[in-house]
Structure 1
Amino acid sequence: MKLNHTEQTAKIFELINKGKDFKKLKPDNNERNSFTVPLKVSGYNELNLMVTELLKASIILLNKETRSMSVVKDDVNVMTLLEIALQLLPEEEMELLDDLHQFYLQSDK
């Protein structure tokens, strides 16, 4: 059954209005055509564990010997895992840790 022009237009507007339900991706104000995805973690320790597990999985998948023994049958895009891990690393917080470490070293004297 073909839709006439008015029905097509109404359907398009209906779909556009449904766009208000897209809540997972948040526009990135710093980059055009880029979005952020909120990720809930209980703290830096859980975040660190997530990054560690992504890196471990990537190492296993890049190793030909372990990959052949892996239960993963489908192709896994390791580059995607590594990109996620990279984006999850708390860079600014690491600078704070460096500052705190320097403070600790100086106070130890």
Structure 2
Amino acid sequence: MEIQHKESATELLESMNKVEYFKKLKLANTTDNSFSVTLKVSCYNELNLMVSDLLKASIILLNEDARNLSSLTTVTDINVMTLLEIALQLLPEEEMELLDDLHKIHLKTDAE
């Protein structure tokens, strides 16, 4: 049983070395192990619109009274495409590939 675990660990390390995983989070501060995520924008105006849309959506979705008091009452005030683009940029694609590889190793270990 211990040999199988060692083989699985070796296979995992080999898999991780084949492809560079863990690209989404960048180490921001080594003292507290915090990370940063990069969002790609074409200009400051696009960044401003993204943040504005996130804030507007949050206000409207979290507080029904705010909908009645705010000028942000129509759906057209929130650019849903911007929110979806942010979500797409934040998805950790390479990390998900690693999870797939780990799952395959797990399934192979269970079958043995």
Question: What TM-score range do you get, normalising by the shorter chain?
Answer: 0.3 to 0.5
Structure of greater relative contact order (alpha carbons < 8 Å, 6+ residues apart): 2
TM-score by length of structure 2 reads 0.46
Bigger Rg, structure 1 or 2: 1
Q: TM-score, normalised by structure 1?
A: 0.47
